Amino acid sequence: MTDRLPHTLRADAQDNRERILESARALFATQGLNVSMREVARHAGVGPATLYRRFPTKQALVTEAFTEQLHTCRAIADEGLADPDPWRGFTGVIAKTCELHARNQGFTDAFMSAFPNAIDLAADRAYTVNAISELARRAKDTGHLREDFALDDLILMLMANRGIQAPSPAARVAASRRFAAFIIQAFQSSPTRSPLPPLPRLA
Amino acid sequence: MTDRLPHTLRADAQDNRERILESARALFATQGLNVSMREVARHAGVGPATLYRRFPTKQALVTEAFTEQLHTCRAIADEGLADPDPWRGFTGVIAKTCELHARNQGFTDAFMSAFPNAIDLAADRAYTVNAISELARRAKDTGHLREDFALDDLILMLMANRGIQAPSPAARVAASRRFAAFIIQAFQSSPTRSPLPPLPRLA
DNA sequence: ACGTTAACGGACGCCACCGTCCGCTTGGCT
DNA sequence: AGCCAAGCGGACGGTGGCGTCCGTTAACGT
């Protein structure tokens, strides 16, 4: 009854665990989250049971696989906030975020909670959102960011960015880069401002 | 050997055929093309065999279901071309196209050849592309449309628009409307023009 | 009213995925 | 060296989509 779970995996198990994560990251990046658990297992060269033993649910696998990217997100936001020129910081955030997401189809899915259930990523996500919110306020104050910009417009932009497809990952990133440039142009305040249609609840 | 196919369906068969098409349109509109043939059949209240008899392949069903929208596309392009103000015509095309696609997830999939194989829609599509190409040239001549706009940027925009999701179809359309406004802003020529990253081959 | 045949849909065999169980292997500790 | 549990993966029953076959029903022409 007083069994203690060993919190250290056996060497081979640890090895498998990491190969699984690598495979998951690779597959999720190129194909989004529409990858079967078995496919991940096959790619990692392990049996299905092994995969399920380490990650009982796909949720768990996804969460683990993308913590790194999640921290990158925080870093991007912090970096933008640190820029003395808020508008430059803001546009930098957009460009880098688009690129990050273009390289990681699955990450976007997860970030957008294509997994609708509460993601463990939520906390970090909130932090990032807060940081960007502050950055946006500053960018508005300098007059470069249009006044009617809403934070959810970034979500809109990310969803849109997710839709971009191309024959190769490299092409996708290139296309996304151009898209980001367009979006930055759209977010910039301008004399020819026609009023913007309202933004509905997105989630 | 000299059997003649009757080109007129029996009354009940014709009825079923139309119910199938209606169901397909409804399901494709809200869920994209990721709908199983059986699901369409169930929704239409017919057996799988009946569906397959009328539309041997999903391709055929999709093609038939969306000819109407395809013609709408042509109409939108013609309408824009007819506008005496090319820029207003151009922006109108963008707004209307985004709305059309936002209302029809599946149509976007088909239009983007999510069905990679040659779509019968190709001919109409080519016509539309040509019309818009002419419209864009005129809009550039008036100085309203940025010079570095490429026709593929519309494809980029459509792919992006496809990524926009929302809890309800109405919300999706609203979000798409706002997105279109942003994109129009981005396409407008402006004094603060930083060079645009190049666009890769998209298909 | 009736026979012919177009049209129907239930049922089939196939395959992929799902999450789990269990007998064998092997790493790690003494 | 030898034990033993941590770890493994093949195999299983279940579900659901796929496209097709075939026995039954009922629409239409006479």
Give the pLDDT band (50/70/90) at residue A172: very high
B25 CA from C6 C1′ (Å): 26
Q: For chain B, which domains are there?
A: 5-65 (1.10.10.60), 67-187 (1.10.357)
Tokens for B12, please give them.
């009940």
Distance of CA B44 to CAs A79, B16, B27, B67, B69, Å? 54, 8, 10, 19, 21
**Amino acid identity for residue A172 in this structure:** R
Q: Which residues share a beta bridge with B188?
A: B145
Q: Is B26 a residue whose pLDDT tops 50? A: yes
Q: How far is A113 from chain B (nearest CA, A)?
A: 12
Nearest by CB to residue B181, choosing from A170, A185, A197, is: A197
- CB–CB of B136/B148 below 8 Å? no
Mutation target to probe the B interface, by most B beta carbons within 10 A, among A178, A183, A187 is: A178
Distance from residue A171's CA to nucleotide D20's C1', rounded to whole Å: 42
Do A196 and B190 count as a contact with CB atoms less than 8 A apart? no
Specify the pLDDT at position B124. 78
Distance from B55 to chain A by nearest Cα, in Å? 27
pLDDT in tens, A22-71: 999 999 999 999 999 999 999 999 999 999 999 999 999 999 999 889 88
What are B's interface residues with A at a Cβ cutoff of 8 A? 112, 153, 156, 159-167, 170-171, 174-175, 177-179, 181-183, 185-188, 190, 192, 194, 196-203
Contact assignment for A197 to B174 by CB distance below 8 Å:
yes
Chain-wide mean pLDDT for chain B?
Answer: 91
Residues 6+ apart with CB under 8 A from B163: A159, A160, A161, A162, A163, A164
User: CB neighbours of B182 closer than 8 A, spacing ≥ 6?
Assistant: A153, A183, A186, A187, A196
* Helix-, strand-, coil-residue percentages of chain A, each rounded to 5: 65, 0, 30
> How distant is C1' of C6 from CA of B18, in Å?
17
Tokens of B48: 């799988």
- What pLDDT was estimated at residue A118? 45
Indicate the pTM of the whole model. 0.92
User: Which of A156, A179, A185 minimises the CB distance to B185?
Assistant: A185
Which tokens belong to A137? 């306020």
Residue B136 pLDDT more than 60? yes
Residue range B52-80: mean pLDDT, rounded: 93
Position B115 confidence tier, pLDDT thresholds 50, 70, 90: low
In angstroms, what separates the C-alpha of A184 from chain B's closest C-alpha? 8
Residue of B159, B190, B196 for testing the chain A interface, max A β-carbons within 10 Å: B159
Both structure tokens of B141:
């001549």
Q: Once rounded to an integer, what is the mean pLDDT over residues B22-49?
A: 96
A37 neighbors A31 (Cβ within 8 angstroms)? no
Q: Assess whether pLDDT exceeds 50 at residue B118.
A: no
Of B156, B165, B199, the CB nearest to A159: B165
Q: Is the dihedral of CA B146, B147, B148, B153 positive or negative?
A: positive
**In the prediction, which pLDDT does A2 show?**
38
Confidence of residue B3 (pLDDT cuts 50, 70, 90): very low
